[in-house]
């Protein structure tokens, strides 16, 4: 066993020569999306770029938002040279002017009175830096500038905002999908790892639970009645595209694990966004994990000739990378439009044929149903070289069918046949089960589904029930151990740590079988009730002291600094 400290191999991987791009709409969304993952990536050697599509200038001048973003990111280790602004206008659901989403020919007018991109604080926007001119506020220009950004940075990993209620978040989520596919069309080797996350339902509008426990809790699944502007099964998260069990979870750094905010570098970075009073949201933003959903970008369908049995005019929707579209970007409640190939009603046995110029490795097939496809039991059969290679049931409402074949196939043809009319948003075919990733596999020990680190319990507790989260490894390939006179027993996918009679600090370590380089180590602190009560009292003092100083900070800003 190592000394009595928490540690995880995630924080010691090498990401040298790896460009990571964080793409968000507004100044403060980089923290809503990333928390201190920005720090972790840099500590591992990655070059992290943070790009903002808007100037955040809806009600606060761009120069103020720029200053705040630069200072916040400085506190998180991101230098000014790696901060990029696309320079578009900030909007809102109730903005008096037309959103850029609808600007096809006439440039949109922003709330700040602008119709073209601009920079501030001595930083020109990206298109001006690279091409020497500004861009009018047109939808086509917006997507083109995201393409330009992707080509300029050439990231191996992208972290992008997903489909929140704010129209600028929706615009970015859909625009990134479109731009990424266009870049791939011109550069097939461009296959970054893509993580998308929400700024609102898992952060800004999430549960204020930092002070609920001495042990920091993980991000909770949003519930419609509890989360502001969350619409349950009518929302993008609440619909079946995203499953809570499929989320990717990253650990947080030692300095941001609680139980006090005043000691946290992340809290200092949050407070730097003074114009947004962001400090008041810290207790909702700071958790013991950071959550995303991963989307593969290495499908070989993009290189294939595609044929369908009916309605061939919409077949390209199967390979456009987009899972849905919208017509009303300003609606608070998401109104999702189908963007799918839908077979004709009289096509009783729809089929899709893929043909490649050369033979391909084929190991996995993913079918996303249309967001408006409600048939619960549509069967599909996959044929390779005229032999059935697999079958499955396409789930309804946009949920994917992930069909991993029983072996690797090598062929230049693939055919999928359905037993009735079908609506499909996307068809993806992969040569591997897992996309190559610059990030390394890791393990994390949990208690009640919460990532734990230094974990405090009453010294009268004789045992602790724990479990494991694994990323890109199988939990069955892990080994758990404890130090001293303590013991651990496995019960299915859970483990019971039994404490020795004199144990006060207990190390629990999980390692990947055959690879000591993949590990997690936590420390369980068994302390008296009086010690726990004292820590809780200090935590409450931290809470009310922070609230007092945040209110002073907000008053000072509105009296003297807002300009």
**Model pLDDT for residues 261-289, shown as the tens digit of each residue:** 998 999 999 999 999 999 999 999 999 99
State how far the alpha carbon of 358 is from the alpha carbons of 248, 383, 411, in Å.
34, 17, 8
Percent of the chain clearing pLDDT 90 (strictly above): 90
* Residues 56 and 90 sit within 8 Å (Cβ to Cβ): yes
What per-residue string of b and e applies to 46-81 under the rule 16 or more CB within 10 Å gives b? Answer: bbbbbbbbbbbbbebbbbbbbbbbbbbbebbbbeee
The per-residue pLDDT for range 204-217, each reduced to its tens digit, is: 999 999 999 999 99
pLDDT at position 561 over 70 = no
Q: What is the pLDDT of residue 4?
A: 59
Q: What's the CA gap between 549 and 558, in Å, rounded? A: 14
Helix, strand, coil percentages, rounded to 5, for the chain: 30, 30, 40
Q: What is the pLDDT of residue 263?
A: 87
Strand partners, 280: none
Q: What's the CA gap between 53 and 160, in Å, rounded? A: 11
pLDDT at position 563 over 70 = no
Q: What is the pLDDT of residue 467?
A: 98
Q: What is the pLDDT of residue 228?
A: 82
Note the residue count of the chain: 563
Pseudo-torsion of CA 355, 175, 158, 303, nearest 10°?
Answer: 10
Percent of the chain clearing pLDDT 70 (strictly above): 99
Q: What's the CA gap between 83 and 85, in Å, rounded? A: 7
Compute the average pLDDT of residues 428-433: 98
- Tell me the H-state helices in 272-367: 282-285
The per-residue pLDDT for range 2-33, each reduced to its tens digit, is: 565 899 999 999 999 999 999 999 999 999 99
Q: Could you tell me which of 116, 124, 48, 47 has the C-alpha nearest to residue 85?
A: 124
Q: Which residue has the tokens 């007018």?
A: 109
* Residues 90 and 168 sit within 8 Å (Cβ to Cβ): yes
* Residues 216 and 447 sit within 8 Å (Cβ to Cβ): no
pLDDT at position 366 over 90 = yes
Model confidence at 234, pLDDT cuts 50, 70, 90, reads confident
Q: Which two three-digit tokens encode residue 258?
A: 């609680």
Radius of gyration, CA atoms only, the chain? 25
Model confidence at 226, pLDDT cuts 50, 70, 90, reads confident
Q: Which residue has the tokens 């990206």?
A: 126
Q: What's the CA gap between 394 and 437, in Å, rounded? A: 27
Compute the average pLDDT of residues 384-392: 96
Compute the average pLDDT of residues 223-249: 84
Q: Name which residue leads in pLDDT, 477 or 557.
A: 477
Q: What is the pLDDT of residue 562?
A: 57
Model confidence at 558, pLDDT cuts 50, 70, 90, reads confident
The per-residue pLDDT for range 399-409, each reduced to its tens digit, is: 999 999 999 99
The three state secondary structure string of 215-226 is CCCCCCCCCCCC
Can you give the pTM of this predicted structure?
A: 0.96
Pairing of strands 157-161, 19-24: parallel
Compute the average pLDDT of residues 334-339: 89
Q: What is the pLDDT of residue 225?
A: 83
The angle formed by the CA atoms of residues 166, 561 and 208, to the nearest 5 degrees, is 45
Compute the average pLDDT of residues 44-59: 98
Strand partners, 444: 469
pLDDT at position 233 over 80 = no
User: Mean of the per-residue pLDDT values for the chain?
Assistant: 95
């Amino acid at each position: 066993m190592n000394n009595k400290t928490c540690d995880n191999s995630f924080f010691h991987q090498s990401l040298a020569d790896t460009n990571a791009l964080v793409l968000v709409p507004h100044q403060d969304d980089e923290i809503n999306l990333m928390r201190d993952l920005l720090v972790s990536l840099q500590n591992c050697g990655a070059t992290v770029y943070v790009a903002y599509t808007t100037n955040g200038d809806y009600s606060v001048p761009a120069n103020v938002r720029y200053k705040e973003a630069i200072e916040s990111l400085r506190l998180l280790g991101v230098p000014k040279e790696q901060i990029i602004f696309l320079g578009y206008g900030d909007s809102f659901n109730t903005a008096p002017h037309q959103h850029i989403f609808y600007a096809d020919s006439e440039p949109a007018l922003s709330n700040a009175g602008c119709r073209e991109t601009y920079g501030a604080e001595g930083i020109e926007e990206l298109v001006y830096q690279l091409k020497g001119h500004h861009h009018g506020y047109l939808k086509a220009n917006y997507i083109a500038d995201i393409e330009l950004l992707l080509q300029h940075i050439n990231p191996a990993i992208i972290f992008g905002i997903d489909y929140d209620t704010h129209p600028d978040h929706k615009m970015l989520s859909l625009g990134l999908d479109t731009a990424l596919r266009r870049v791939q069309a011109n550069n097939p080797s461009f296959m970054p790892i893509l993580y998308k996350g929400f700024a609102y339902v898992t952060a800004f509008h999430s549960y204020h639970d930092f002070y609920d426990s001495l042990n920091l809790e993980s991000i909770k699944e949003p519930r419609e009645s509890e989360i502001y502007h969350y619409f349950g099964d009518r929302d993008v998260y609440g619909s079946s595209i995203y499953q809570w069990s499929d989320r990717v979870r990253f650990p947080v750094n030692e300095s941001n694990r609680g139980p006090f905010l005043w000691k946290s570098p992340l809290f200092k970075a949050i407070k730097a966004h003074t114009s947004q009073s962001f400090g008041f949201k810290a207790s909702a933003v700071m958790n013991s994990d950071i959550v995303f959903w991963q989307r593969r970008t290495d499908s070989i369908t993009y290189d294939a000739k595609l044929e369908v049995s009916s309605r061939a005019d919409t077949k390209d929707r199967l390979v456009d990378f987009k899972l849905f579209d919208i017509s009303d970007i300003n609606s608070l409640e998401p109104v999702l439009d189908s963007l799918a190939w839908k077979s004709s009603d009289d096509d009783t046995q729809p089929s899709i044929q893929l043909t490649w110029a050369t033979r391909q490795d084929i190991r996995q097939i993913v079918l996303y149903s249309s967001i408006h496809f409600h048939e619960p039991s549509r069967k599909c059969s996959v044929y390779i070289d005229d032999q059935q290679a697999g079958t499955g049931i396409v789930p309804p409402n946009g949920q994917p069918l992930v069909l991993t074949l029983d072996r690797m196939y090598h062929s230049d043809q693939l055919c999928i046949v359905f037993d009735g009319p079908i609506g499909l948003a996307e068809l993806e075919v992969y040569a591997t089960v897992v996309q190559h990733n610059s990030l390394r596999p890791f393990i994390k020990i949990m208690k009640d589904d919460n990532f734990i680190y230094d974990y405090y319990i009453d010294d009268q507790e004789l045992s602790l029930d724990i479990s494991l989260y694994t990323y890109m490894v199988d939990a069955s390939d892990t080994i758990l151990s404890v130090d001293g006179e303590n013991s651990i027993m496995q019960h299915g996918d859970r483990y019971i740590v039994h404490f020795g009679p004199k144990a006060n600090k207990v190390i629990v370590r999980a390692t990947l079988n055959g690879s000591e380089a993949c590990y997690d180590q936590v420390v369980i602190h068994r302390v008296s009730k009086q010690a726990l009560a004292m820590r809780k009292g200090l935590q409450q003092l931290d809470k009310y002291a922070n609230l007092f100083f945040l209110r002073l900070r907000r008053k000072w800003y509105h009296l003297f600094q807002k300009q």
